[in-house]
Amino acid sequence: MEFALIHQIRGRARLRSAHEFSQETAVMLADGLEMVPGVEGVRVNPRTGSVLLVYDDEDALERAAVFLAEAKPLPWRKALPVPVEKDERPSLFPFFRYVCIRPFLPMALNMATAIIGSLPFLKRCICSLVNRRLDVEVLDGTAIAVSLLRRDFGTVGLLTLLLGFGDALERYTHKKSLENLASHLALQVDKIWVRRSGEELLIPCQELAGSDLVIVRAGTAIPVDGIVAEGTASVNESSMTGEPLGVMRSEGSSVYAGTVVESGEIYVRPTQIGGNTRMQQIVRFIENTEQMKAGIQGRFERMADRAVPFTFGLSALVWLLTRNVTRAASVLLVDYSCALRLATPLAILAAMNEGVRHRVMVKGGRFLEALSTVDTVVFDKTGTLTQSRPDVAFVIPAEGQNEDDVLRLSACLEEHFPHPVAKAVVHSAEARNLHHAEEHAEVEYVVAHGIASQWKGRRVLLGSRHYISQDEGVDVSPMEEHIRELSRRGCSLLYLAIDGKVAGIIAMEDPLRQESHDLVERLYQMGIRHVLMLTGDDKRTAAAVAERLGIREFRAQVLPEDKARVVAELKAQGRTVLMLGDGINDSPALSSADVGVTLQDGADLAREVADVVLMGGTLNDLITAIELGRGVMRRIQFNYMTTMTMNSAFLAGSLFGLLQPGLSAVLHNLTTLGVCLNAMRPALPKGE
């Protein structure tokens, strides 16, 4: 098959075929790629003809490309009709029929029923053999074939009953888990108001046309992505951006499905409808991410597949030693792969579902596994540990000056400029009810330095120390003691000078997030050995912030392009690195880390490349993410040990003739059911 590389970043690549292919071909490709050394995760989409790979090194990508080039599609299966969506809830009626009705039916009818029921399993067995796979399908098919050859139709009926029930249970639990996962994000709107040909109509969503204007009033969710054609409204976009405050949207503004109008009324011309809205794209993405398999899942599945030839060999040995076909068939009916193949993905899917309920979106099982082994957490300071907006911390007047006058005059100058520092000064003056008249002349803004103006006939300067002291020659030594103390506290300083003399200092700081200190302390308590802060601040400011947060390691004056290099250095030391950042310049580091984490209100690019998104807007959700990863890995390991122990016991019983084929199948399926139910239990500690 021909595939082209359409996108690649470190450790991930997407390839696309020129044609879509069948679901059966997609399964064949996924199974084959999982066996390629170095490939850690696979997602195959038959509708778009795309293959997403997660791999260790470039050699693994080359090996995967060779496999894809040599793979043969299955056109003879592609013509099969698409199955109609139906209720796949497992029914207990087949058990009632087998126990209560079957004994009273004619032998010929029971034989025919057993043979017909066995055909799907025999067909799957043949398909696996055709594709050169020796897996559980071959094991089950062989056991059924042996029973048919022995004319043991009662055992055949019981085996097909149990295997069929197991398949139905797997499909149902898988489907329900996906539905639950998607329902937490999906927009539930059945009918909407539109203006069509001058009339207001209430219509079903599926009847919406591109020429309609969707009417959205206060308290109503916007059902489509679109452009505001008329009206003005305050829109709460927290479902999309995490920002709790409403933003004004008027004619020409873009709005998105899933956001809510808090006040006002707008008429929206749809640009994306139904399944094409950004919210529904998020839902589809979540539905697909469970296919990004964890490494432990792949290892267990390969281990289970390697056990299949062993089971065949053991069965053959039993027959050679005892010449007892019943004992040999009993051995075939006990395998390790069923529980491992079912329970592991169910545990991962359940954990992802649980994460969304707790405001943590994990984009695949591979990242849950990485979360469980993290030993180093790297924070970008600005916007992550801090609130990404400066505040006025202190106003220190010079001798002979008044604190309020210093702040009032500074705000009078700064209000003409939109940058964050200026806004912070103006906001601080407003908070103190310091009103001012426009008594200064035209303001001159010196880029990256400060402001100069005339006020009551006096020359006024406001800006950095470099601007005030070196460029303008103002002596700031009278305030040197205050300067040292404020710098030690990690503040950035703004200097005010009047007629060549320093008049005061305004100390600015990025306020720490309220939860930052407790988060760092909790990480250390959880056994995270290294917590590192990266910042572009100078070393003195960085040290002050790190001390306030309780962080023992930091790197100062780190340029944006250096963050990914720092992460790579840590990984080269053998650490499992989690990087948390929210800006566009954090994206390379997020991609380089074993787990990239961002906040819901982070930049679009950061949310795109991150492996985990904290949707609650609080850093405390990082603890939830790590505990979720640890909890699901403990669950998977427990299920693995239970599966190996119980099935080994059943295998021993079959070897020594203590278990008949039917009883072996019952016990084996009960074990599989038990570990699957255990896999779906909550992974987070109670109280989370």
> Which residues, at least 6 apart from 582, have a Cβ–Cβ distance to it below 8 Å?
380, 383, 384, 388, 598, 599, 601, 602, 603, 606
67 in any annotated domain: yes
Residue 383 DSSP symbol = I
Could you list the residue range(s) of the whole structural domain that residue 499 is in?
A: 391-509
Whether residues 397 and 497 share a domain: the answer is yes
Exposure string (b/e) for 650-671, b if CB count within 10 Å is 16 or more? bbebbbeeebbbbbbbbbbbeb
Question: Which tens digits make up the pLDDT trace of 48-76?
Answer: 677 878 787 778 888 888 888 888 776 53
The answer to whether residue 151 is domain-embedded is: yes
Residue 282 lies in a domain: no
Q: What is the CATH number of the domain that holds 571?
A: 3.40.50.1000
Q: Is residue 249 part of a domain?
A: yes
pLDDT at 166: 58
Of 152, 212, 380, 611, which one is the catalytic site residue?
A: 380
Tokens at 606, concatenated: 């950061």
CB atoms inside a 10 Å sphere around CB 483 = 18
Evaluate whether 519 touches 526 at the Cβ level (below 8 Å). Answer: no
| pLDDT for 443 | 64
What pLDDT is stored for residue 491 in this prediction?
A: 78
Give, in degrees to the nearest 5, the angle at Cα 661 between 656 and 665. Answer: 115
Residues 459 and 480 in one domain: yes
The answer to whether residues 439 and 310 belong to one domain is: no
- Of 50, 78, 106, the position where a domain reaches its end is 78
pLDDT reported for residue 442: 57
> DSSP of 194-235, one letter per residue?
EEETTEEEEEEGGG--TT-EEEEETT-B--SEEEEEEEEEEE
d(CA 430, CA 413): 14
**Whether residue 298 sits in one domain with residue 170:** yes
- Tell me the CATH number at 252: 2.70.150.10
Query: Domains in the chain: how many in total?
Result: 5
Q: Are residues 518 and 373 in the same domain?
A: yes
Give the three-class secondary structure for 307.
helix
Specify the CATH number for the domain of residue 446. Answer: 3.40.1110.10
Residue 85 lies in a domain: no
**Both 238 and 206 in a single domain?**
yes
| Gap between the Cα atoms of 463 and 453, Å rounded | 12
User: For residues 406 and 497, what is the distance between their CA atoms, to the nearest angstrom?
Assistant: 10
One domain for residues 150 and 167: yes
520 and 484 part of one domain: no
**Residue 467 and residue 435 in one domain:** yes
Euclidean distance between CA atoms 414 and 87, whole angstroms = 65
84 within domain boundaries: no
| Boundary residue ending a domain (481, 509, 537) | 509
Active-site residue flag, 380: yes
Q: Pick from 484, 509, 534: which residue ends a domain?
A: 509
Residue 339 lies in a domain: yes
pLDDT at 687: 58
Beta bridge partners of 13: 8, 53
Q: Output the pLDDT for position 336.
A: 60
Say if 281 falls within a structural domain: no
Whether 543 and 488 map to the same domain: the answer is no
Q: Which two tokens stand for residue 358?
A: 């707790």
Regions of the chain where pLDDT drops below 50: 76-87, 177, 181-182, 184-187, 238-244, 275-294, 447-448
**Burial (CB count <10 Å: 0-12, 13-18, 19+), residue 247:** middle
The CATH code of the domain that includes 73 is 3.30.70.100
- What pLDDT score does 244 carry? 42
Does residue 24 sit in the same domain as residue 59? yes
Residues 245 and 117 placed together within one structural domain of the fold: no
